[in-house]
Structure 1
Amino acid sequence: MKKTTLLNAPLSHCIATLGHTDSITICDAGLPIPAQVERIDLALTAGVPNFLQTLDVVINEMFVERAVIAEEIKTKNPHILTALLSRFNQLEASQGNKIQLEFVPHETFKQHSQNSKAIVRTGECSPYANVILYSGVPF
């Protein structure tokens, strides 16, 4: 059995096969997921697992270089934004790099997510709890 935190086999495989600048999207229960993008559906019921729990496990396994977030989160979900930014600050310290953050309109976010290697659907039921994480390299 795997020793690290992430036990979900499809998600673990996805992260293990990311190359530099590849991306994965972690989303709330409502983000549309196009048929051509791999769907890793973790949602069990409303709130389970939540967005931040899922993010924590993913960033524990993934070297993050850049992140894209919908602009609307600033006014529609400031609680999640504050927690997200705090996690990125901690991740920068542990990785030893500056994570480039980009805020885009939600429609643009949805277009960018279509280029992700996979979209990870959580049970999160709060607005704009979505992020696209771009893989960096730890060297």
Structure 2
Amino acid sequence: MAITLSLCRLCLSLLSFSTLFISETFRWWSESMKKAVLLNADISSVISRLGHTDRVVIGDAGLPIPDTTVRIDMALTHNVPTFLQVVAAVTSEMQVEVAIVAEEMAEKNPTLHNALLDQLKHLEIHQGNSIELHYVSHEDFKIQSGKSRAIIRSGECSPYANVILCAGVTF
């Protein structure tokens, strides 16, 4: 009888502990769940490790990606996702200080170029800082993109739909 009573007390103690453990675990889990727009784990990981001035490239489906650079391939089919959709998702979590585009984008793809400029203007307002815009030749862009932390490939199938985003600081 004494053994049975001791076992019952032990079971109640374990049950009480496990209930507390489960509720605390659930509280931690629910408070740490991601609430931002960006759900892609690879992109989130790259952004979380960026330092000031580190670079991330968002490219169209045709941008060459060196074997030595991290490739995050988002392309599903022609224009899915679009270049601007990927820019919006990435910049929802990344503080941007400088954007670099190929000079050819303004001439060969003016509609997308203007849409990117609009998106960067909205980002400036949201971030509360100005974003410098630099233009380089497409050849120089390809060289610089190889020095980035990662190249994120969109499904965009229009010419020169590429941008290098340089990380800023939030303080």
TM-score range, shorter chain: over 0.9
Other structure's SS at 1:81 match: helix
1:8 matched to 2:40: yes
**Can you give the 5+ residue segments of structure 1 that lack an aligned partner in the other structure?**
none
| Alpha-carbon separation, structure 2, partners of 1:135 and 1:65 | 6
> Distance in 2 between the 1:41 and 1:2 partners?
22
Amino acid at match of 2:95: F
Q: Which has the higher strand share?
A: 1
Q: Answer 1 or 2: higher relative contact order, Cα 8 Å, separation at least 6.
A: 1
Higher Rg of the two aligned structures:
2
Instruction: Name the Cα RMSD after superposition.
Output: 0.7
Task: Point out where structure 2 has 5 or more consecutive residues left out of the alignment.
Answer: 1-32
Q: Tell me what 2:108 maps to.
A: 76
1:81-127 deviations in Å (ceiling 9; x for gaps): 10100011111111111111000100000000011000000000000
Using structure 1 for the length normalisation, give the TM-score. Answer: 0.98
Structure 1 stretches of 4+ moved >2 Å: none
Q: Measure, in 2, the Cα distance between the counterparts of 1:86 and 1:6.
A: 20
Q: What is the letter of the counterpart of residue 107 of structure 2?
A: T
Instruction: Kindly indicate which of the two structures has a greater share of residues assigned to helix.
Output: 2
CA drift of 1:2 comes to 2.4
TM-score by length of 2: 0.80
Q: Contact 2:36–2:92 (CA<8 Å) still a contact in 1?
A: no
Instruction: Look up the match of 2:138.
Output: 106
Name the % identity: 57
Aligned residue among 126, 134, 158 for 1:94: 126
Aligned residue-pair number: 139
Whole-Å Cα distance in 2 between the matches of residues 56 and 29 of structure 1?
Answer: 17
Pick from 94, 97, 113: which aligns with 1:62?
A: 94
